Amino acid sequence: MEIFDNLALGFSVAVTFQNIFYCFIGVLLGTLIGVLPGLGPVPTIAMLLPITFGLPPVSALIMLSGIYYGAQYGGSTTAILINLPGESSSVVTAIDGYQMARRGRAGAALATAALGSFFAGSVATFLLAVFAPPLADLALKFGPPEYFALMVLGLVASVALASGSVIKALAMVVLGILLGLSGQDVYTGTPRFTFDMLELADGIEFVALAMGVFGIGEIVRNLEDEHTRTVMVQKVKGLLLSREDIKRITGPILRGTFLGSFLGILPGGGAILSSFAAYSIEKKISRHPEEFGKGAIEAVAAPESANNAGAQTSFIPMLTLGIPSNPVMALMIGALIIQGIVPGPNVVNEQPNLFWGIIASMWIGNLMLVVLNLPLIGMWVRLLTVPYHILFPLIVGFCCIGVYSVNNNAIDVFAMALFGVVGYVLVKLDCEPAPLLLGFIIGPMLEEYLRRAMLISRGDPLVFVTRPISATMLALAAIALIVVLLPSVRRKREEAFKE
């Protein structure tokens, strides 16, 4: 079997002292920057690029990849502990993970995230090894109409993120899209909602919005009545998972892994959708949907598995086609060029050591991450016993430096301050921020793909229904919308009749 030869080659490259060392450095750094809110893998990898000049290409790439998936791993920690999602992928984890932490189940939530991520990472790495080339071809079949349909499906699914009013959730999605449209229009270069500020030409920074609405807003809410309420958490219960927990997370982890692996391949924002989609699916099929939003363990397991699986499979277009699917992959390509390797479809054949070495190192890296992170859980949970009035100013400090470091742009810091206020007001009015964030992420892509599809089809809207993949997804979206809206309509009616 060719695949075993390839994997053997990969492991022979990855399991050298030097490469294991760089893999470890990578995942360690990744975990660290993942835990620090705001500071993401892009600036870290950019800063480390000069160091990789002196390394052999395989070691350099192994270390940089480790930073990337290590950061995905670490990102869930702050989301769970202090409601601070530093990256789009941990927004969903924050919803129920933070509620679990408030109920004294931070340990269980972190353990679920770690185990789910490990399982998903391993499976996705295996898929990457076996199916990379055919999967990459599949990604090429996705044109603008298909992406548009995918985004519509994602938006409809996002309404399920809200546990309250569906109408308000829809309104939040729309508001998020409008905020997301800020910045230079891709098609004409016209600035929109930038108030003539050059600093806003690229739009509102996601990290500023997410950390403002979630992190800062939550801090103010916790300061409401410090005297009467134990602010942070109930007493921390057992750190590990009960047998009941394990039973509850098995299905979600499997489904999340599958979904994430598939969506991660799509370069046009598929990976971002995967955690949202995984959450919505779990909520729909769960026997206790009422627990979602209040600390359901499934709602941590599924999105965490999905985003970690997606993180691994998003390497597929980069490694097999030489096409970056996100800014991190663009950096990896930069690293390859600096190493003197011309990225492109030939890398697999011309540099088998590199290709298979990276894949093998991903599995080793995931193993290291789980070994590294499980013992840390105790320490993280102990962090929550620090009195809140001491903890929260530190969180504010981390938020500030984190959001500034994204673009070295002070306007992002001011935006975070503004969105902190907005986030607090929204929570007070029972408008949930999660759909807002999803709208923000997906909105600009929705518009981009819609306009692109219309341009390419020369203005023929039928393009969305004559192409089978797009038509199928739009049909699914329509069905999902009806399913989501029906119960709420019925409930409203019942309420009206009761009167």
Residues numbered 253 to 292 that lie near other proteins (CB under 8 A) are 267-268
Which of 3, 8, 223, 486 touches other proteins by CB under 8 A? 223
What is the token pair recorded at 120?
Answer: 């998903």
CB of 109 to other proteins, least distance (A): 25
Q: Please choose, out of 17-25, 186-194, 237-245, 292-300, the segment that lies near other proteins by the rule CB under 8 A.
A: 186-194
Output DSSP code: residue 184: E
Q: Is 478 in the site for other proteins (CB under 8 A)?
A: no
Q: Is 400 in the site for other proteins (CB under 8 A)?
A: yes
Which of 3, 8, 394, 483 touches other proteins by CB under 8 A? 394
Q: Is 456 in the site for other proteins (CB under 8 A)?
A: yes
Which of 55, 216, 442, 474 touches other proteins by CB under 8 A? 216
Q: Coil, strand, or helix at residue 181?
A: coil
Q: Residues of 230-252 as b/e, b for ≥16 C-beta within 10 angstroms?
A: ebbbeebeebebeeebbebbeeb
Residues in the interface with other proteins (CB under 8 A) total 123
CA distance 330 to 409: 21
Which of 1, 4, 17, 190 touches other proteins by CB under 8 A? 190
**Structural contact between residues 107 and 377, judged by C-beta atoms closer than 8 angstroms:** yes
**Structural contact between residues 152 and 417, judged by C-beta atoms closer than 8 angstroms:** no
Q: Which is nearer to other proteins, 1 or 429 (CB)?
A: 429
Which of 15, 20, 28, 178 touches other proteins by CB under 8 A? 178
Output DSSP code: residue 236: P
Whose CA is closest to 280, among 98, 99, 149, 158?
Answer: 158
User: Restricting to residues 34-63, which ones interact with other proteins according to CB under 8 A?
Assistant: 36, 39, 42-47, 49-50, 53
**Structural contact between residues 277 and 91, judged by C-beta atoms closer than 8 angstroms:** no
Which of 8, 130, 425, 479 touches other proteins by CB under 8 A? 425
Residue that the structure tokens 């503004």 belong to: 418
DSSP 320-365: II---SSHHHHHHHHHHHHTT---STTHHHH-HHHHHHHHHHHHHH
As a three-state string, the secondary structure of 59-120 is: HHHHHHHHHHHHHHHHHHHHHHHHCCCCCHHHHHHHHHHHHHHHCCCHHHHHHHHHHHHHHH
CB of 334 to other proteins, least distance (A): 4
Which of 240, 383, 455, 462 touches other proteins by CB under 8 A? 455
Q: Is 462 in the site for other proteins (CB under 8 A)?
A: no
- CA–CA distance from 51 to each of 23, 44, 87 (Å)? 14, 12, 25
Q: Is 334 in the site for other proteins (CB under 8 A)?
A: yes
Q: Is 431 in the site for other proteins (CB under 8 A)?
A: yes
Q: Coil, strand, or helix at residue 191?
A: strand
Binding mask 144-173 for other proteins (x = CB under 8 A): x--------------------x-xx-xx--
Q: Is 21 in the site for other proteins (CB under 8 A)?
A: no
Q: Please choose, out of 68-76, 151-159, 342-350, 361-369, the segment that lies near other proteins by the rule CB under 8 A.
A: 342-350
Q: Which is nearer to other proteins, 240 or 455 (CB)?
A: 455
User: Restricting to residues 59-118, which ones interact with other proteins according to CB under 8 A?
Assistant: none
Which of 356, 447, 474, 477 touches other proteins by CB under 8 A? 447
Which of 55, 161, 333, 364 touches other proteins by CB under 8 A? 333
Q: Which is nearer to other proteins, 194 or 250 (CB)?
A: 194
**Structural contact between residues 397 and 407, judged by C-beta atoms closer than 8 angstroms:** no
Q: Is 468 in the site for other proteins (CB under 8 A)?
A: no
